[in-house]
Amino acid sequence: MIPAEKAHLGIAAGSHPGRKGKNNEDQFAVAAFTLNQPQATPVVFAIVADGIGGHRAGEVASNIAVEMICDAVSVSNASQPLAIMEAAMIRASQTIQAQGSNSETLFGMGTTAVCAWVIGGQLYSAHVGNSRLYLLRGRKLIQLNVDHTWVREAVDAGALTTEQARAHPHANIIRRYLGSETTPEVDLRIRTDRNSQAEKENQGFRLRSGDRLLLCSDGLNDMVNDQEIGALLAQPDLNKTADDLITAANQAGGKDNITVVILEMPHKRGLGVIRENFRHISPQLAISYAGLTLMGIAIISALALYLVQIFKR
């Protein structure tokens, strides 16, 4: 891929250590590219990593993850995005684990990581841990990935409700992370509906005009519920939205580092909007719309001819 000076998506991002005096162990990166091919497809890659470990170890782990994964993506040809992200995450995990094992100050360090790779208008994602990827489509907010936490497993098993999970003392126990002794399984599923399973087959998910993606560390969603995140994410100004999300988390307590990255698909105008909308309606309804359109054209044409005849007289 070739680095691009300008991204085809709207981008806003920010990070804050929170209000508890913690060192900021979050890391993020966003990069724009163009595929080296005749079509020159635009590409954006984004990652958020949330470090784990005492002293400054978490910061070291998240930095290793972001650098190694971004490097692997940037030198690739983007032909196999899932395999590229999966291999890069595993290598990063092994590097973090090795460095932690050889240092007393870094022992036990680790990090979460969530990636969003948008190639043209298609989304590919990979994650390990509890950093989240959201989609805002219209006014509907959907969490596209699944938290690798003890409480998430308890909710899925029916042992806890979602509200009980938010206040549970084990809410932040992470089941998978980069840097663990055993190689973590990289999650390559995308959940496109709250009532459906997150499936690998959803990779390459086609984004629509105006869609917004939010990558964030748990310092945001632990403090701010999804309803409020959705309302803030729907604001028109991207930079203000990023600032307001961080402010909301701090106003709610700011117990952890807070990082947000927002990506927005460009808004289409005119016929582009019509074509986009027609992709998502039934064939029967599309035929009805087409019939009404033709009828309207015929009526307007007849009226125009009638007016011409009047003016001639």
What is each CA distance from 165 to 151, 160, 205, 243, in whole angstroms? 6, 6, 29, 27
* pLDDT for the residue 56: 79
Cα pseudo-dihedral 236, 240, 245, 246, rounded to 10? 170
* pLDDT for the residue 313: 53
Residue type, 44: V
CA distance 75 to 85: 12
DSSP H or E stretch at residue 194: none
Evaluate whether 191 touches 183 at the Cβ level (below 8 Å): no
58 by Cβ neighbours in 10 Å (0-12 / 13-18 / 19+) ranks as buried
* pLDDT for the residue 161: 67
Write the pLDDT tens digit of every residue in 98-126.
999 998 889 989 999 999 999 999 999 99
* pLDDT for the residue 124: 97
Cβ burial 189-211 (10 Å sphere, 16+ → b, else e): bbbeeeeeebeeebbebebebbb
CA distance 153 to 157: 6
pTM of the predicted structure, to 2 decimals:
0.82
Write the pLDDT tens digit of every residue in 154-164.
766 766 666 65
What tokens does 32 get?
């724009």
Q: Domain segments of the chain: what residues?
A: 2-268, 281-312
CA distance 112 to 62: 8
pLDDT in tens, the chain (313 residues): 899 999 999 999 999 999 988 899 999 999 999 997 767 899 999 999 999 986 679 999 999 999 999 999 999 999 999 999 999 999 999 999 999 999 888 998 999 999 999 999 999 999 999 999 999 999 999 999 999 987 677 766 766 666 656 666 666 788 899 999 999 999 999 988 755 656 778 899 999 999 999 999 999 999 999 999 999 999 999 999 999 999 999 999 999 999 999 999 998 765 444 344 434 444 454 455 455 656 767 677 676 676 667 666 5
What tokens does 311 get?
């003016």
For strands 212-216 and 132-137, give the pairing: antiparallel
Which residues lie below 8 Å from residue 161, measured CB to CB, with a gap of 6+?
Answer: 155
Query: What is the CATH code for 2-268?
Result: 3.60.40.10
* pLDDT for the residue 172: 73
* pLDDT for the residue 169: 64
Evaluate whether 74 touches 34 at the Cβ level (below 8 Å): no
Name the one residue in this structure whose structure tokens are 């803030």.
232
